Amino acid sequence: MAEAARGALPLRGLAPPLLRRLSELLDRAAPGKGWRDLAQRAGSRGRVRLSPLDLEQCSLKVLEPEGSPSWSLLKLLGDRGCTVVELMQFLQALEHTEALQCLSHSGSITGLPGNKLHICVQPQAQSLAVGDALVLECGAVGNPIPQYQWFRNGFPLANGSENVYMVTYVDVEHQGTYWCHVFNDQEDEDSNKIEVVIGRKAMAVECSEEDLSDLQKPAELQEQADHRPVATDKVALLIGNMSYWNHPQLKAPMVDVYELTNLLRQLDFKVVSLLDLTEPEMRNAVDEFLLLLDKGVYGLLYYAGHGYENYGNSFMVPIDAPNPYRSANCLCVQNILKRMQEKETGLNVFLLDMCRKRNEYDDTILILDALKVTANIVFGYATCQGAEAFEIQQSGLANGIFMKFLKDRLLEDKKITVLLDEVAEDMGKCHLTKGKQALEIRSSLSEKRALTDPIQQTGSSAETQARNLQWAKAHELPESMYLEFKCGVQIQLGFAAEFSNVMIIYTRIVKQPPEIVVCRAYVTDFALDLDVDPKEANRGTPEETGSYLVSKDLPKHCLYTRLSSLQKLREHLIFAVCLHYEYPGTEYTMDERKEVNVGKPLIAKLGLHHGFKTNNCLQTCCLTNNRFPNHMGSSPVATEYFIPSHCPPNSCPGIYLPNHVCSDSIRQPEACSCNGILASRHEVGNYQPPVEESNVPVETTDDTVELEFLLSDKLRFSKQQYL
């Protein structure tokens, strides 16, 4: 009984020094073992479920002088009843040996199951070539602290007394059977025995004498090969344009941007996600994005909406573009790439869910400065030149074909071009779009860089802090507050972010005197910039306001108001909270109101509505002489950098699946299980937007299983061809 009681020790009962040590280990953990991974494991438990808002609040702790996201997460888990045993189970699932040892060897938790010697990380068999690096890992927990001794073919290995055994340059003599003997003063245990096979590496390389001279630096090259690429930081700008003023309305970008945001945050990207931007807002958003870039930073730009390609240049179309539009009304992707290269970024990834068909109304040959010759560029287009793109609709929600398959692969620890190749193969199995839409990849990437690469900051702490502050400016939510009215009623006012420029306000009455029989509270009097429709404000469910993606993470029994286009806010967000109440036996309704000022929330702080510099887009040098490898799954072939490749993009939103990583059935060799009807929808000149057509979903479901992308026969595919 005593042991069981100790096993149920609440997490918040741990001593602060131990929690601080655990936080340090989680803050600097390798990919797959950090605080976000712990949060995902813990979030699978119903009573400690964590929302995206919880994770966002944890991540913002890096801005405080002594702040720690992991410390904030552990405190949050403790407040929600997580026990020490549960934490050990989470850490065990992550194979975070060091944190397990720290926890299990603390004197404050003797008697826990972790005190028994146990190997939780087994070494893995490997097949290597001569010259490769051998890394074997064994992890164990126990009390006293376990010790290690590695063996090969029955003989102990020198320098084999750590939990990780490494040979930086293997030869055939390193082949054999390996295992690790783990022991302490009370117990001992052997790991699994595994085979390490070493083969000769055959290689044929064509190179000049000058190239050969450069190869005479094996030590330097081996040092590079032994280390995985790292990013100095990771930042992403996601833009989804749907509500076009003069062109067909789209549905897909909302959900696609939302899902991609959640996935990239799991990979430690600083994400800015924006919906429905005008031309100056898009240009200023790009400028702010570029401020986050620096040497070695991984930069990712995702765009879903209308677009086109002329003379090798791709153009993103803002929502206020005239009909017809030309290059002067749009943003040139290649120009953004050039400006990213000026920052000496470590990786530039462009995912373009847009059309690349010729714009017959635009004969301008845009002249741009020449791109630098760098090996860090990856373009992923939703579809090929001359083809069409599709979106899938279910229950009023839309998902693009590209994002449907991309989201199931994005978290995989693979070189980004390999990952996109597999997405292309998955798309090819969808029988409804086979031969109609295909992902195209263009890459000049010569290193094995992946979105999962760890972050290793090399700049000064001041530079890192400045970048964190710049990003955090766009993600500061007002704090929850309580309003006291003279009649004794107390109202809670809360805030949640759906996108970087979309915020949900929720209100609920938390205290009502018994003598008041009727009581209602609502928010009103918003700035005209936000264009809030009173009919869609103060609704009983988030869905009624147009918010379909965060409804499960918001508190229940509230009134909800959705504020979009926060980038248009020029002054502080000031609004009124109105209270209507009645006393028994009276025919009169009493009114009280309070004015609330919450400053500039989220993206409003960046002032994207301000004027922009027109010379940001037009440059002065021709692009057509640049060469760019075309990634075809084999050896790169030099092609014209501007040769058209993807076709009509598709703007896509997908279904919000908070804990969705991938669907195994999508990976099967059989054809995709999508069933539906293909219907084309062409944008034509002189388009007149329908008067009453809505571009927001009209219904949703609380059953996330029903929202899985393995869709039923009721799915409707509608082609989005954008000119």
Question: Positive or negative, the Cα torsion across 62, 66, 68, 73?
Answer: negative
Please say if 672 is a catalytic residue.
no
Q: Cβ of 598: how many Cβ atoms within 10 Å?
A: 18
- Rounded Cα distance, 665 and 708, in Å: 11
- State how beta strands 389-394 and 716-720 pair: antiparallel
Q: What are phi and psi of 506, to 5 degrees?
A: -125, 140
Q: Which 3 state secondary structure label does DSSP give 432?
A: coil
User: 180, 332, 355, 672: which one is catalytic?
Assistant: 355
Question: Positive or negative, the Cα torsion across 252, 254, 258, 261?
Answer: positive
Where b means 16+ CB within 10 Å and e means fewer, 55-94 reads: bebbbbbbeeeeebbbbbbbbbbbebebbbbbbbbbbbeb
Q: Cβ of 610: how many Cβ atoms within 10 Å?
A: 10
Quick one: tokens of 572?
């502080």
Quick one: tokens of 227?
């280390």
Quick one: tokens of 154?
């029955």
Q: Is there a contact between 163 and 139 (Cβ–Cβ < 8 Å)? A: yes
- Residue 533 per-residue DSSP state: -
- Rounded Cα distance, 173 and 140, in Å: 28
- Rounded Cα distance, 115 and 615, in Å: 65
| Residue appearing with tokens 């219907």 | 679
- Rounded Cα distance, 626 and 635, in Å: 19
Q: Is there a contact between 35 and 26 (Cβ–Cβ < 8 Å)? A: yes
User: 247, 306, 475, 646: which one is catalytic?
Assistant: 306
Q: Is there a contact between 476 and 566 (Cβ–Cβ < 8 Å)? A: no
Burial class (CB in 10 A: 0-12, 13-18, 19+), 654: buried
The closest of 397, 380, 399, 384 to 674, measured between CA atoms, is 399
Please say if 622 is a catalytic residue.
no
| Residue appearing with tokens 């009681």 | 5
Question: Looking at this protein, which amino acid is placed at residue 541?
Answer: T
Query: Which residues are marked as active site?
Result: 306, 355
